[in-house]
Structure 1
Amino acid sequence: MRTFHHNQIFDPSGGFHASSAKRTMTGQSMNIWEMFTRESLQNSWDARDRVSAEDGVTFAVDYDVIEGAELEILRSVILGDDFIGVPALESQIEQGTVPLLTVSDTGTVGLRGPSNATSATTGHTEFTSFVRNIGRSEQKELAGGTYGFGKAVFFIASRVDTVMVYTRTVDENDQAVHRFITMALTDGYQDGSVNHTGRHWWGVEAEATTETGSVTYAEPFTGELADRCATAMGMDRYFSEERPTGTAISVIAPDLADTETSLRNIARSLTRWAWPHMVTTEPDLDPIEFHVNLRGSRIGIPEPQDDPALRSFVQTYERALSMQPSESEEWRESLVYRTTRVFTGRPRKKELGRLSVKTLVAPVDERDTVVGKTIESEIALIRNPRMIVEYWKGPADITGEPYCGVFLADDSADRVFARSEPAAHHEWNHESIQNEKGILEEFWGSDSRNNPVKIFFEHMRLLLKRSVRKNIGRGDDRHFAAATDIARGLGDYLANSVGGVDTRVRTPRRASGGGGRRKSRAGLPGTDVRLVDLRRTEGGQITAIFDIGIDADDDVYPVQLKATPVIRTDGSDVRFEDVEDAGVDFPVFERWEVISGNPQSSASFTDSSLMLTEPASRIRASVIQPADCAITLYVDIVQTDGETEAAQR
């Protein structure tokens, strides 16, 4: 069988220049390899097998070099030694080696449906949508993509404008089929008196009859021939009994400046845009197994939880998913998190999605995160494909504190946000849908000129400017921000400019806190905790030293002391369990020092709990104090009968 090269010519009624599809994508503001990663992953996610959420999806990017016998299969079997209109492809093969960058997904449905674009069907048409057509119908279900131009990134990524496609799927009759076809998008050209579109396919010669006459075109290789070509090109490595269907797309001669660096950037890009798929948060979503390989050697994919910025985004994402239903845009707050739902408000109240925000200790520098930008007021915008659309920069908090967060679009608004995206799907632009009457009517349930995406950004800015701290927002916000800066400046002078220890006397608390010296009550011991020293170690750490006095009769012993360091704020004292997931440096108990009645004997203990069997002449506790933070110490006193008294300073 001889391979047929379909070099498309313009129909008398006109046609589509192949280069115009590529210009649609090269005109985007995003880097080509960022678009490549996002588009390929989004295609794979859209194609996941939705029968079960347990089998999972494999998504892999592999770089290989074809030579020798495999190169001969590429030249003679796959391309049939026909390179007319694609001179760069011929030149690459003549060099004796051909690099391939293959994107594979398994556990997906593959490119289903008929292979002939003229076949009218109400069923699946993924094969013709990817291989034959450019653009997409308004009637098609919206998943990740909306334009149908995104596949052009595969051709842009190739120095020779050519890709190979292998899919294990079902045809229009739901019969299993394996298909292999090669495609190119080049500049159009003239061959004598004939104009060519620049679109090419290599496969099996076929003929179809239409209302305008007979047309010769290229059908894909199928069956054993398709499998043999895929094996030679390394395109079948991820299929298995558990994940038997899917698609592999090989970019011939990928335009990589430095191969290893580029693959590492692709791995980072996967984490940057797809981290919601790397964390276990939604049990009804297929898990994705990610791979990036350089000639068989694994390239590490950064873990979101190890990234200083993404760790916080993941935490806000988890809180957004767990939010309870609400009918208002009222913040619900905890120590460092706040959540709310975002509504339109006009012309009628419609939910747009969930917003979750975390206050950061400090901005995260772009050099320390795969996000690629400094994180100080960024919100990750996410819709149903569970990929990051963009890290949108929100307004500054009036306190000057940095923050990050996640907005998760509501299902009812997903189509609106999807249609507002450009071809690269990297932002939401309200101007893109202002004339989309059908989309707007669908969202509002009636005719309306109001733009929900524009309303969304207006509400987001107002919500993020609105502080949730009590008594903030009265008067001029600028005055409050200035007062905050002054307070920070004064705080720098406390404790040798590394934080501070609160020395204010507070009202004693029964059973959970107190302060100052007091006599025993009904046989319980009185306590007194005082800061006596701040010491700087050779390594620059600050250690706070507290004296603990116990005012008690001898017959109350033995008693147990329990030391609990906390962070002191104006509003409350913060315990470790309040911030253990927030990445905040916390004071650490270091040791007890106990000097008995005999001046010659003393002991040090590193456990935060201490049992005293008799009175001691002096008890001290040392606490390691984090920089830029005021601390205090709680000491719980527990008698053997379980009664408790506490002191704090």
Structure 2
Amino acid sequence: MTRLSLHSEPYGRTGNIGANVRKLLGAPHLDPFQMMIRETLQNCCDAAKLGKGPEVFIRLRRLGPIAANAMRERILFDLPKEPNSQVLLREFLAADAPVVLEISDVNTTGLAGPTRADRIPVDTKFTDFIDFLRNIGTPRDTEHGGGTYGFGKMSLYGASRCQTILVDTLAIEDGPPVRRLMGCHVGSSFDIREDGMMLRYTGRHWWGIPSDDGETVEPLAGVDAEQLAYDLGFLGRDPLQTGTSIMVLDFDTGGKSLKAFGGEIAETVLWNFWPRMMEDTPAGRRLTVHVEIDGETIELPKPENFPPLDLFCGAMRRAREIEKEPSAEVFCMNPRKKLGRLIVERGLCAPRMRLVDEDSLLPANCSHIAVMRPAELVVRYFKGDAFPDQRLEWAGVFVSDTDKEVERAFAHSEPPAHDDWVPENLQERNAKRYVNVALREIKRMAKEVAAVGESGLSGAKASPPLARISGILGSALVGVNTGAARRTKKVNSVTRGGRPQRARALPATFIELRSDNGGAIAIFHTEVLQDAGRSGAVLRGVAGVLVDGNSTTFSSGLNDQPEVIKIRRLEGDMTSVGSELRIDGADGTFEVLVRVPKSCAATLDVSILEEDTK
């Protein structure tokens, strides 16, 4: 049985970066958990093998008896001398079922290269191991990459209540793959009195195998590392399945149950990585994520089927085919340089699939633009003005150009957390101008989408002209969102204790879109409420057309109109073909089917007719 030894980093003769390194990296706009997921998965994407998209397993679980014993007896047997670090680690080890979060990737390169930062052989190709386990803030050298080994690494320690992680990696060196396992803790700096001197320590600690010179520790390697990883419950790997697993010890769920926190994991992944998870993302770039909570798998919905991400996906799909929509290109005029592509997609506000009970990242009514570099990793969202009609919503994307000068400007404008574009971070004049112009156009578009909606059919508003903006907005193609998720959630019922003075139908709620012989059928639900005399005799549906953000219900002016083709009561005892259903005083939830023409978004107005007005 191999037991790891502890090495606490002493200050060097010329000093070190101490425990306050986290403050040097800045303060992100996002909460710590979002930041950890973003940064870690970005590094997984950057480490993907050429031609293979990364596959990531996120596992939140309690350690079983074997793993907990291995943790106590073989990893954390020797604890740091700093009092607070000792308390935190002992609390973790004393737990009956310690909680850990493991993030593992496959189809990636693993952490290859030397294990000591002070001795790097000449012509070394990879330094990923020391960049992640030893150094702070080293940038990834991946072209158009998204992450660094600075903020991402520190966010992992921040998610651990004992500020400790274990790393298990399988990487290819000059010969066969090498398995390595090491632990690391980042605590407070401390002093120890010895022989009349004050020995100072940085607060960084590693668990590994003593080096030959006794000055540090090396990672446990080979078969011993593989066996210890197995005992700890790390993701199993085939002999050639390179990649890295990171275990965050005593993971902080914020007091939530593991099951409840699983929904937050799923939603955070989708909200931040949907561009790389789309079905039509090239296989070499596609990110596949699996979420497992205490051995139970959470199925992640496809972003194309997950409102409002379906609208973002529609915009992204068009942005990738920019040759079809050159008007969506954004330029800087002095100097003239293409900065990127800006696309907006509009549609009906579909019901949300709830993954969390409260504080969802998903807006109830979307009016946001997601911005990103060519790596297609979301940097942030800009919120714009919503449509006055809350039945409608929009989503947009801006992707900066692949031109090296432009890409460098946007990349260098990002703070360490990669969660914003800050022109003030740039010193080069043109680079600052590129980012400023792009941000100006993004913010203007966020205002103009709703302004176009207010202009209606006439285009009477002087700004923005409909002709100029139409190429960017495109058609309101609800009719092409055929991957929209099916929603089984019924319209909220109203208590029958107090009936309305007149029979009425609640506003129709869009449920889903179904394919139908090359076209589409929009499904709506409405709730019928009868008065005391149950005078409502007929339920009528009138389909409308969404034009420039306004819903209109008219029957002329377009060659192809949406059409109500069927109405039925969900209880199944009433149905009719056409736009009217005789209900004779019945109430409940009714389903209305609307045939949607191409290049058109359909809306639905519902009303109740009494017998004497029929």
Task: Say whether the fold is shared (TM-score over 0.5).
Answer: yes
Q: Which amino acid aligns with 1:185?
A: V
Shift of 1:90: 2.5
Q: Which residue of 2 aligns with 1:418?
A: 411
- C-alpha distance in structure 2 between counterparts of 1:91 and 1:60, whole Å: 27
Identity %: 26
Q: Which residue of 2 aligns with 1:200?
A: 205
Q: Which residue of 2 aligns with 1:387?
A: 377
Q: Is the 8 A contact 1:590 1:624 kept in 2?
A: no
In structure 2, the CA distance between the partners of 1:605 and 1:127, relative to structure 1 (3 Å rule), is closer
Q: Secondary structure at the match of 2:72?
A: helix
Give 1 or 2 for the bigger CA radius of gyration.
1
Q: Secondary structure at the match of 1:18?
A: coil
Q: Which structure 1 residue ranges, 4+ long, deviate > 6 Å from structure 2?
A: 363-369, 396-401, 468-471, 496-499, 622-627
Shift of 1:430: 1.9
In structure 2, the CA distance between the partners of 1:58 and 1:374, relative to structure 1 (3 Å rule), is same
Residue 331 of structure 2 is aligned to residue 343 of structure 1: yes
Shift of 1:607: 9.9
In structure 2, the CA distance between the partners of 1:217 and 1:319, relative to structure 1 (3 Å rule), is same
Q: Which residue of 2 aligns with 1:472?
A: 459
Per-residue CA deviations over 1:244-291 (Å, capped at 9, x if unaligned) read 111100011111121221221011111111112322113353433321
- C-alpha distance in structure 2 between counterparts of 1:169 and 1:322, whole Å: 36
- C-alpha distance in structure 1 between counterparts of 2:141 and 2:54, whole Å: 27
- C-alpha distance in structure 1 between counterparts of 2:227 and 2:268, whole Å: 32
Q: How does 1:281-300 map to 2 (within 5 A)?
A: 281-300=280-299
- C-alpha distance in structure 1 between counterparts of 2:350 and 2:65, whole Å: 53
Q: Is the 8 A contact 1:19 1:198 kept in 2?
A: no
In structure 2, the CA distance between the partners of 1:606 and 1:346, relative to structure 1 (3 Å rule), is same
Q: Which residue of 2 aligns with 1:488?
A: none
Q: How does 1:161-560 map to 2 (within 5 A)?
A: 161-171=163-173, 173-192=174-193, 193-207=198-212, 216-237=215-236, 239-240=237-238, 244-256=241-253, 257-258=255-256, 259-324=258-323, 330=327, 340-347=328-335, 349-361=336-348, 371-394=361-384, 402-412=393-403, 413-433=406-426, 435=427, 437=428, 448=430, 450-463=432-445, 465=448, 467=452, 472=459, 475=462, 541-543=539-541
- C-alpha distance in structure 2 between counterparts of 1:232 and 1:374, whole Å: 44
Q: Is the 8 A contact 2:113 2:124 kept in 1?
A: no
Per-residue CA deviations over 1:57-99 (Å, capped at 9, x if unaligned) read 3211112322434323222222343343331112321345422
Could you list the runs of 5+ residues in structure 1 that have no partner in the other structure?
209-214, 331-339, 441-447, 479-495, 500-535, 546-565, 577-585, 592-603, 609-621, 631-649
Q: Which residue of 2 aligns with 1:587?
A: 564
Shift of 1:449: 6.5
Shift of 1:587: 2.5
Q: Is the 8 A contact 1:544 1:623 kept in 2?
A: no
Q: How does 1:140-151 map to 2 (within 5 A)?
A: 143-146=145-148, 148-151=150-153
- C-alpha distance in structure 1 between counterparts of 2:160 and 2:284, whole Å: 33
Q: Is the 8 A contact 1:542 1:624 kept in 2?
A: no
Q: Secondary structure at the match of 2:436?
A: helix
Per-residue CA deviations over 1:34-63 (Å, capped at 9, x if unaligned) read 11211121111111111x33xx43211112
- C-alpha distance in structure 2 between counterparts of 1:138 and 1:301, whole Å: 28
Could you list the runs of 5+ residues in structure 2 that have no partner in the other structure?
466-503, 508-533, 544-551, 569-574, 580-591, 596-601, 607-614
In structure 2, the CA distance between the partners of 1:426 and 1:364, relative to structure 1 (3 Å rule), is farther
Residue 89 of structure 2 is aligned to residue 98 of structure 1: no
- C-alpha distance in structure 2 between counterparts of 1:476 and 1:137, whole Å: 43
Shift of 1:421: 2.0
Q: Which residue of 2 aligns with 1:33?
A: 33
* Range with greater deviation from structure 2 (115-124 or 98-107): 115-124
Q: Secondary structure at the match of 1:62?
A: strand
Q: Is the 8 A contact 1:268 1:302 kept in 2?
A: no
- C-alpha distance in structure 1 between counterparts of 2:40 and 2:555, whole Å: 48
Q: Which amino acid aligns with 1:76?
A: E
Q: Is the 8 A contact 2:542 2:564 kept in 1?
A: no
- C-alpha distance in structure 2 between counterparts of 1:107 and 1:404, whole Å: 32
Per-residue CA deviations over 1:386-427 (Å, capped at 9, x if unaligned) read 222222123567999742211122222333222222222222
- C-alpha distance in structure 2 between counterparts of 1:312 and 1:538, whole Å: 37
Q: Which residue of 1 aligns with 2:154?
A: 152
Q: Secondary structure at the match of 2:42?
A: helix
Q: Which amino acid aligns with 1:205?
A: P
Q: Which amino acid aligns with 2:228?
A: C
Per-residue CA deviations over 1:100-151 (Å, capped at 9, x if unaligned) read 2111111111111111112334411111110010012597755111572221
State how many pairs are aligned: 490
- C-alpha distance in structure 1 between counterparts of 2:205 and 2:537, whole Å: 67
In structure 2, the CA distance between the partners of 1:629 and 1:570, relative to structure 1 (3 Å rule), is farther
- C-alpha distance in structure 1 between counterparts of 2:564 and 2:382, whole Å: 34
Shift of 1:543: 4.6
Shift of 1:309: 1.0
Shift of 1:161: 0.6
Q: Which residue of 2 aligns with 1:12?
A: 13
Q: How does 1:123-138 map to 2 (within 5 A)?
A: 123-136=125-138
- C-alpha distance in structure 2 between counterparts of 1:425 and 1:537, whole Å: 60
- C-alpha distance in structure 1 between counterparts of 2:603 and 2:139, whole Å: 59
Q: Which residue of 2 aligns with 1:638?
A: none
Q: Secondary structure at the match of 2:105?
A: strand
In structure 2, the CA distance between the partners of 1:199 and 1:539, relative to structure 1 (3 Å rule), is farther
- C-alpha distance in structure 1 between counterparts of 2:41 and 2:431, whole Å: 34
Q: Is the 8 A contact 1:353 1:410 kept in 2?
A: yes
- C-alpha distance in structure 2 between counterparts of 1:418 and 1:607, whole Å: 56
Q: Secondary structure at the match of 2:152?
A: coil
* Range with greater deviation from structure 2 (279-288 or 192-201): 279-288
Q: Which amino acid aligns with 1:280?
A: E
Q: Is the 8 A contact 1:236 1:248 kept in 2?
A: yes
Please report the RMSD computed on the Cα atoms of aligned residues, expressed in angstroms.
Answer: 3.9
In structure 2, the CA distance between the partners of 1:407 and 1:498, relative to structure 1 (3 Å rule), is same
- C-alpha distance in structure 2 between counterparts of 1:422 and 1:449, whole Å: 15
Q: Which amino acid aligns with 2:248?
A: V
Q: Which amino acid aligns with 1:352?
A: L
Q: Is the 8 A contact 2:115 2:130 kept in 1?
A: yes
Per-residue CA deviations over 1:326-370 (Å, capped at 9, x if unaligned) read 7x6x3xxxxxxxxx11111122x2112112112334598898995
- C-alpha distance in structure 2 between counterparts of 1:292 and 1:539, whole Å: 50
Q: Secondary structure at the match of 2:440?
A: helix
